[in-house]
Amino acid sequence: MGALHDGHLSLARQARKNNDVVVASVFVNPTQFGEKEDLEKYPRQLERDTSLLDDIGVDHVFAPDNDIMYGKNHVTYVEAMGFDNIPEGTSRKGHFRGVATIVTKLLNIVQPTTAYFGQKDAAQCVLIRRIVEDLNIPVNIEVLDTIRETDGLAMSSRNLRLTEEERRAVPVIYKSLRAANDQFSKVMLLSSDTTDPVISSTELISMVYEILRSEPLIAEVHYVSVDDKETMQPITKVNHNGAILSLACQVGSVRLIDNIVLSV
């Protein structure tokens, strides 16, 4: 999408380390933005982005315009069933159709052997793996850990729109996720003598809500969800296999998302 930060660049570095030729795509995809979302406000810094990628050693930057990716007669979209019904999907109608379509198009155009994505967009990563498997696309998908600021905030281009006061407050997001993960780990370890210890999703979700609501600058919590790692479908209990705990919240005019993979 562009406006690259170190989270994006970590993907390029890993690709550079593992491959002979590296291609990076930079495209602000209009079909994954809703009617009330901030497409026009999304930062576009292609010259800067290209320079950063060049410094890492990226061989080619594919930066098409809308006319190339969505011609005047474009009518074909890719839609993975069920994703509009997960929490992020109900919050952003049509978002996952837009993501599925553009990723499929980019994979078809570039035809990489391996494509790299960040765990910060957990649902997108699950979606992309589903598309690749279902449509028999010959590419290996690598998902890398979320890159965070020193205070835990997940790196995002949207962070630039936070005021100084909001920026000081938002580390509470990751704090809430870590607290829930700590509780999950505690239950799993203390119940190690049990055949299959479980913790309720409700307990984890309530803990996250409580911590988020302790910060007045969190204007709204859009959702907190515990989901299966392979399907992103909600689950009611979590066992030693873990799950994805994700959330979205509003801070001022900025919508932020984050997640953690529950693990011991």
The set of catalytic residues is 8
User: Is residue 261 within 8 Å of 229, Cβ to Cβ?
Assistant: yes
Q: Taking the CA of residue 92 as centre, how many other CA atoms within 13 Å lie in the half-sphere pointing to its CB?
A: 21
Q: Side chain identity at 49, as an amino acid letter? A: D
DSSP character at residue 145: P
Secondary structure class of 86 (helix, strand, coil)? coil
User: Is residue 42 within 8 Å of 28, Cβ to Cβ?
Assistant: yes
DSSP character at residue 159: G
**How distant, in Å, are the alpha carbons of 43, 148, 149, 159, 171 from that of 168?**
22, 14, 12, 11, 7
Q: Which H helix or E strand runs over 160?
A: none
Which residues, other chains included, contact 191 with Cβ-Cβ below 8 Å and sequence gap of 6+?
A: 197
State the alpha helices, DSSP H only, in 2-121. 6-18, 46-56, 66-69, 87-91, 95-110
For 115-131, letters b (16+ CB in 10 Å) and e give bbbbbbbbbbbbbbebb
